[in-house]
A and B are shown apart, each in its own frame.
Chain A
Amino acid sequence: MTDQPVKEMSFEDAMRELEGVVGQLERGDVPLEESIKLYERGALLKKRCESKLKEAEEKVAKLTLDGDGQPTGTTPLDG
């Protein structure tokens, strides 16, 4: 377990830890109380992963550039 709060975790970190938690729990060599803590941690991580997956949002924009080739803003772009 890392000390990082689950809510601040990237999807990848949460995913990696969730995988670790599941593996640890499945090995069955964790004391009962620890395994309940692990389960609770796993549930949090799973929630985090799910919320990150729900953030899927498509937003495509094209940069507008000035005469020097520097970005000045965006315009929508159709895929």
Chain B
Amino acid sequence: MDLIDDPEQAGNAPEFTVSEISGAVKRSIEGEFGFVRVKGEVGRVSRPRSGHVYLDLKDDRAVLSGIIWKGRAEGLLTQPEEGMEVVATGKLTTFPGQSKYQMIIEDIAPAGVGALMAMLDKRKKALEAEGLFAAERKSALPYLPDVIGVITSPSGAVIRDILHRLRDRFPRKVLVWPVAVQGQQCAPDVARAIAGFNAMTVGGSLPRPDLLIVARGGGSIEDLWGFNEEIVVRAVAASGIPLISAVGHETDTTLIDYVSDKRAPTPTAAAELAVPVRMELLAWVGDQEARLTRALTGGIAARGQRLRDLNRALPKPDMLVEQARQRLDYWDEKLDVALRGVVQKRGLRLTQVTGSLRPALLAARLDRAREQAGAQGARLAPALGRVVRERLREFTRLAPRLRADGVTQMMTQRAEALDNWTGRLARAGTAQEHGRRTRLDALDRLRETLGYRETLKRGYAVVRGDGDVVTGVKAATQASTIEIEFADGRYDLSGKTPKPIKAKKDAPPDQGNLF
């Protein structure tokens, strides 16, 4: 385009000299951008001998030259290095000599980490204060979800990792909601996806998932920044479906991790949190079944054993009655005693009762008995008479048969025998008497010869005291009467006191007996 060739463009427009226009631009820029903060990556850095620092700030589309004057450069906490993300503070100016504009940098600090983190920290605290991260807000993950909603980029490793791991563990229905996982669209996409899944109906043509996974692979803090946005955090907090966050690597923490029900360090780990291992569960179920059967059969067997044990432990029937028997014995003994007591009591009662028995009662009965006896006695005499008459009749019947002839004859014979025997007795007696007389005479003669009377004839005497023969002085003095028998009679010395004389002069009366 050639301005000079265009006659209409000439006219009233003032003409600037180069210096004038350069000066005007300089004033304009310095007025407008007297104080700016510029974030960018540090490009080429040069440090000439002057001590000033020349550097480029750049992003993917533009470059801005910058100068740190010597005095400022020495006082910087962070020295700029190529590739470093920084936030530079200063002012814009121009360098008319080279038609350049540039930034005079007063201060320079690392961008991202510090600045972003400061901002993130502030946001986190605000949301935390609202209670969005509270543990009690978190819901438990379903043990075995039927449908899993995955919010991530439909292409790339992340979704493949998740699907692979799900297939390994427990194949499930998966709905993938495609979203931008970085850049401006990331946060609104993710927030819309979370709300969209929650809006679905259970069992509808698009079945509502019972578990959500929000996943993204590793990246810089800026890449992950969308998951720090408040809109995402609020969408997760509002979700009625339990949600697992798996954003970045394990060391990257975004705000969605605080608000999610469960944070997985990687997308693969999210799949592991989402479903159990099917084979393990099958094994577990089989194990449970075996335990179930074993427990039942074992229980029955144990009961059988217990029954047998109890049966063995049952006491013998003898033992069961033993105690009863002992009691019986005890009471048996007691019964004896009790019986005696009862008898005694009854005995006592009896004596009390018999005490009232009167002789009159007995007498009355005796009278009755006597009357009976009298009646019987009256009948006795006639009965006796009857018997006597009977005997008499018998006797008179027998009496005529009694004859005297036999008796008389027998008496005659006996009388003759008696006479006979009497005669013989007389004769024998006479003969015997005669013999005895003869012998008696002889003996009497002998007696006369030998008797004391014959001795008396010869001058001896017999002394008698009180009729008895006295043979000594002592007897003689005691006798009241003394008699002396001589051959021709007795001489009584009564009343005369005989003079005791020597006994040897007296001869005992029977002294002369020579037998």
Contact = CB atoms under 8 A, between A and B. Distances in A.
Interface string A30-46: 10100110110011001
Nearest to A30: B299
A1 to B, nearest CB: 14
A69 B189 contact: yes
A62 B176 contact: yes
Contacts of B296: 25, 35-36, 38-39
Nearest to B188: A69
Contacts of B188: 69
Contacts of B172: 56-58
Interface stretch (B223-231, B238-246, B286-294): B286-294
Chain B's interface size range is: 35 or more
B154 interface: yes
Interface in B157-202: 159-160, 163-164, 166-167, 170-178, 188-189, 192, 196
Interface in A5-47: 10-12, 15, 18-19, 21-22, 25-26, 28, 30, 32, 35-36, 38-39, 42-43, 46
Interface stretch (B91-99, B277-285, B353-361): B277-285
Nearest to A55: B146
A78 to B, nearest CB: 9
Contact of B143 (A12, A19, A21): A12
Contact of A60 (B163, B177, B281): B163
Nearest to B151: A63
Nearest to A58: B171
B292 A65 contact: no
B144 interface: yes
B34 interface: no
Interface in B414-446: none
A39 B206 CA distance: 40
B392 interface: no
A49 to B, nearest CB: 5
Nearest to A21: B292
Given A52-B144, A69-B189, A22 B174 contact: no
B281 A53 contact: yes
B296 to A, nearest CB: 5
A10 to B, nearest CB: 8
A32 B300 contact: yes
Contacts of A21: 292
Contacts of A52: 144
B298 interface: yes
B142 interface: yes
Nearest to B300: A32
Contact of B291 (A22, A65, A77): A22
B292 A39 contact: yes
A49 B298 contact: no
Given A19-B288, A46-B285, A69-B189, A62 B178 contact: yes
Chain A's interface size range is: 35 or more
B275 to A, nearest CB: 9
B295 interface: yes
Interface in A51-73: 52-53, 56-63, 65, 69-71, 73
Given A42-B288, A53-B281, A71 B177 contact: yes
Contacts of B293: 39
Nearest to B196: A71
Nearest to A77: B176
B292 A49 contact: no
Contacts of B295: 22, 25-26, 28, 35, 39
Given A25-B295, A50-B285, A79-B164, A69 B192 contact: yes
B189 A12 contact: no
B292 A42 contact: yes
Given A19-B288, A53-B278, A79 B160 contact: yes
Contacts of A12: 142-144
Nearest to B171: A58
Contacts of B166: 58
A46 B196 CA distance: 36
Given A15-B143, A69-B189, A79-B163, A53 B285 contact: yes
Contacts of A39: 292-293, 295-296
B303 interface: yes
B302 interface: yes
A57 B174 CA distance: 10
B289 A32 contact: no
Contacts of A53: 278, 281-282, 285
Contacts of A50: 282, 285
A28 B288 contact: no
A76 to B, nearest CB: 10
A35 B302 CA distance: 13
B29 to A, nearest CB: 41
Given A25-B296, A63-B176, A63-B177, A46 B288 contact: yes
Contacts of B173: 57-60
6 contacts: A28-B298, A35-B299, A46-B292, A56-B278, A60-B176, A74-B175
Given A25-B295, A25-B296, A38-B296, 18 more contacts: A15-B285, A18-B285, A18-B288, A19-B288, A28-B299, A30-B299, A42-B289, A46-B285, A46-B288, A50-B282, A56-B171, A58-B166, A60-B173, A62-B175, A62-B176, A63-B206, A70-B196, A79-B160
| Those 5 A-B pairs whose CB atoms lie nearest each other, nearest first | A79-B163, A58-B171, A12-B143, A25-B295, A42-B292
